Amino acid sequence: MQSRALEILVGFFVCLGVAAVFVLTFRVASLDSVGGGDKTYRVSAEFQNIGGLKAGAKVSLAGVAIGRVRDISIDPSSFQAKVTMDISDQYSKIPEDSSAKILTAGLLGEQYIGIEPGGMDDYLKNGSEITLTQSALVLENLIGQFLASQNGSSKDDKLADAIGKLADSLQSKK
């Protein structure tokens, strides 16, 4: 009836396909990073301006991804952007007075939240709010500042100051 060689070839084909699916899931997609199944706790923070931050962006601490932005809304009383994020349970000992910044990956990259740890002995827990925040750096504002300072006075030290500020802020995002 069914030739054996044919069955073996089909078995080989199916194995190859399944192996390819596995390679794609484990090598290509970042299954092991924060995101999927593991437990998280929720923290919120309010920002003046979130720039281009989107839900799903990563939350990092010292460059390590520790969570993701869950939701972005407007606080109706303060007109600030309220960002809620899910942080993995394995990073449960983040000091309560830590600050959150909106940073950009590279010059043109995606925006994400960077947490800078504080020094308190109390830790962030589900529902806590990060009060110290720094808004996104909006390039237009920065350039506007730079141009204004250039027009206002042509003194070299002011120009140098503005350029230094620009360089600083760009550097801090690395």
List residues binding another protein (CB under 8 A).
1-2, 6-7, 9-10, 12-14, 16-18, 20-21, 23-25, 27-31, 33, 35-36, 106, 108
| Extended strands (E) in the chain | 40-47, 58-61, 64-74, 81-88, 99-104, 111-116, 129-130, 132-134
Q: Which two tokens stand for residue 91?
A: 């990073």
For the CB of residue 107, give the shortest distance to another protein in the complex, in Å: 9
For the CB of residue 56, give the shortest distance to another protein in the complex, in Å: 9
> Between 62 and 108, whose beta carbon lies closer to another protein?
108
> Between 26 and 123, whose beta carbon lies closer to another protein?
26
For the CB of residue 19, give the shortest distance to another protein in the complex, in Å: 8
Integer Cα distance of 123 and 129 in angstroms: 11
For the CB of residue 54, give the shortest distance to another protein in the complex, in Å: 13
Integer Cα distance of 60 and 50 in angstroms: 16
> Between 35 and 95, whose beta carbon lies closer to another protein?
35
Alpha helices in the chain (DSSP H): 4-23, 139-152, 156-172
The C-alpha angle 19, 20, 22, rounded to 5 degrees, equals 65
For the CB of residue 95, give the shortest distance to another protein in the complex, in Å: 27
> Between 31 and 167, whose beta carbon lies closer to another protein?
31
Integer Cα distance of 171 and 163 in angstroms: 12
Task: Report which residue type is found at 163.
Answer: I
Integer Cα distance of 117 and 119 in angstroms: 7
> Between 1 and 62, whose beta carbon lies closer to another protein?
1
